[in-house]
Structure 1
Amino acid sequence: MELDRRTESGWEIAMSDVLAVLAGQEYEWHKHDSLRLDERYRTRHLPLLTDRPRGPLGPDPGPGEFWPPARSLVIPLPDPRPEPFLSALADSSLAGLVWWCGLELRADRVHATLVHGSDEPRALAAPIDLIVRGPWIGQMNTGRIYLPVEPADERAALALAAERPLLAGYLQLTADVMGDAYAELRDLVATFQPVRTHVRVHQLHVLETMDDLALRSRILNP
């Protein structure tokens, strides 16, 4: 049966500019003079920002981890490395508030979740092209810097059939951002958010993880 794009769930979201769709969920910079880590981030993310050894999956959750592990259908993304943004961030007064080692620890785990709580694999008939946008911070998990993701073309939109905007968690902050650092962060996000990086994805994965950063995780369908 031929797909009716006019009625397919999520079609308008998939083919819209992802930043426009996310506008109502973005951190409201003009309403604040600081960025304070919200409670969810403090309990589920902040405890993970260490270089402590992490064992394989098992019923021994540490701080910020959970058991049993959660499964989701995800889009694995080749590490997009937005170098101009990363360089500007490293040269700013924010540099000491960034969990830099997470870039290497998560380099092969950067992903956008397509279907939360799903262990059903989905095959791609052929590789698809996606566009990774510049840094974005939302009103939830306010210490996490995301990279919004959108289909590069109609074929990719049809293959994903995403019903919500796609976000890849990329960087983590280690403390509240205040004063001049807050103004710098706001300006860096505004400057680099329009950046567009093209990536090609060859398959989707079912990811099983014990934490929100996929530091203790495994792919179920390699």
Structure 2
Amino acid sequence: MLDVILPFLHSLSGPPAYALLFALLFACGTGAPINEDILLLAAAALTLQGVFDPIPLIVVSWFGLIAGDAVTFALGHRYGARMLRKPWAARIVPPARLESLQGTMLRYGPAYIFVVRFLPGIRTMLFFAAGSLKTRYRHFFVYDGLAAAIELPLLVYGVRYIGGRWQEITGWVKGSGTVLTIALVVALVAAFIYSRMRRAKPAKPAP
């Protein structure tokens, strides 16, 4: 699906591009079969080509991510396991996994929602599980919102730092699993911090 979406997104500019990105990220949060991480990497790379500006991209992406996550959380909060009796809902969170996911959330508490934002592939199920445990809405918005506010700037400026290699990295993420994707996020964060430290370091005086 992304093979069709990304060229179309590249062809847009201004409000239509931001609107489409918001809709796609919202869909990701509600369980659509779209790789959220590749989409964000590609969107960040499009700041190098003038399709997006970094700050508006971060803001729009933040709202798109939180809105989609909030829908899944709210469904879990309101309907819980009862909803999973419906076949279409069971595709989002298989009933057999809900108990295990609930156990994870109970073990680590509401703060685990912060970690969930950095766990590709299982975000939707874990947000649903958190909602089904009647986690407070304010905890959800604080932890998920804070994690996204950290993730997005580091991702956007990390991709801008590595420049033209974004396509190579996007292809690598597409074939990787959760652990490798997390490693990529850590690498981008490290690259961003390193670049900032180098720029902040005062130049040595000439002899």
- Taking structure 1 as the reference length, the TM-score comes to 0.24
Question: Over alpha carbons, which structure has the higher Rg?
Answer: 2
More helix by share: 2
More strand by share: 1
- Taking structure 2 as the reference length, the TM-score comes to 0.25
Q: Relative CO higher for 1 or 2, CA cutoff 8 Å, sep ≥ 6?
A: 1
